[in-house]
Amino acid sequence: MKKVLITGMNSYVGNSLEAWLTQYPEDYEVDKISVRDDKWKEHDFSEYDSIIHVAGIAHVSRNPKMEELYYKVNRDLTIEIAKKAKQENVPQFIFLSSIIVYGESIKNNGMITRDTVPEPSNFYGRSKLEAEKGLEVLQDSQFQVAIIRPPMIYGKGSKGNYPKLAKLARTSPIFPNIENQRSMLHIDNLSEFIRLLISNNDRGLFFPQNKEYVQTSKLVEQIAKVHGKKVYLTKIANPLINIFKNKQGMINKLFGNLIYEQSISIYIDDYQINNFKKTIECTEINSRND
């Protein structure tokens, strides 16, 4: 029996992981804790085998007034919690970082390998990367640190760019047909990956992703199909999109390439529960049409 503590009471990843682990009641006991105030400092960490730190500011902001808060929450709080975990002899600390540490990553046609050097393009990415560096110096033979850099996470109830695309797929009759590739990670595949890290008491830097790369236009087409709708894919706007694809942030997020080399995402155990088509069905069936 592994006893697990998840930081972040309202985290999408944290809540999903808790639900996933409860499928194995004989193997895992799960607690969650809020870190919004200082009450977490009074919590006894010594009873846990693993702490999964998912709490943090997840959205990208370009407001310079927010920069200090990003570093305070994503970097300083992460390191402070990890220090307490180490001091109280927790064997493993798992940190949810992000592919955002690589910035827009238009080099090498958007392909990220194990040797790609992170180049954050905003203080969200820098705060995550600095948290990683702070955790690495804490690691030793008695304190295993696992850092996960997932690509875009999606699933039922997810936030960010996916629900925006899903709404567009349900309402728009046309969508640009641009050839691109994106790494994505369904929440069930991520939850299973974290479960395996816990079971193996593993350490290191990890890059989980779905087995398939995704073309944005095909993603929109598949979402529409699940809802019984048809989206007409057109290349009429491609010349204009290609001009701005690597220059404008939102256009690049939609139609640029950003992928992990498949080999760096292989783990000793199989965590990819569902293929792309199945994950879209799981995400969209019975979803709200708003």
Exposed/middle/buried for residue 91 (C-beta within 10 Å: 0-12, 13-18, 19+): middle
Q: How many domains does the chain have?
A: 1
Token pair 């008695």: residue: 142
Task: Give a yes or no: residue 247 inside a domain.
Answer: no
Q: Helical H runs in the chain? A: 12-21, 67-70, 78-87, 123-136, 161-171, 187-200, 216-226, 238-244, 249-255, 276-284
d(CA 157, CA 285): 12
Average pLDDT, the chain: 92
The predicted model scores a pTM of: 0.94
d(CA 34, CA 98): 21
Token pair 């690691």: residue: 139
Exposed/middle/buried for residue 55 (C-beta within 10 Å: 0-12, 13-18, 19+): buried
Task: Give a yes or no: residue 244 inside a domain.
Answer: no
Chain segment 166-199, per-residue pLDDT in tens: 999 999 999 999 999 999 999 999 999 999 999 9
Whether 289 shows a pLDDT value over 60: the answer reads no
Chain segment 40-87, per-residue pLDDT in tens: 999 999 999 999 999 998 776 777 788 899 999 999 999 999 999 999
8 A C-beta contact, residue 226 and residue 280: yes
Task: Give a yes or no: residue 169 inside a domain.
Answer: no
Task: State the CATH number of the domain containing residue 206.
Answer: 3.40.50.720
Token pair 């998912």: residue: 54
Task: Give a yes or no: residue 32 inside a domain.
Answer: yes
Task: Give a yes or no: residue 233 inside a domain.
Answer: no
Strand partners, 5: 31, 51
Task: Give a yes or no: residue 163 inside a domain.
Answer: no
Domain range for residue 66? 2-155+185-211+261-273
Task: Give a yes or no: residue 137 inside a domain.
Answer: yes
Whether 249 shows a pLDDT value over 80: the answer reads no
d(CA 9, CA 31): 10
Task: Give a yes or no: residue 236 inside a domain.
Answer: no
The helices-and-strands tally (H runs, E runs) of the chain is: 10, 12
Chain segment 127-142, per-residue pLDDT in tens: 999 999 999 999 999 9
d(CA 108, CA 112): 8
**Which region holds residue 2: left if phi is over 0, alpha if psi is between -120 and 50, else beta?**
beta
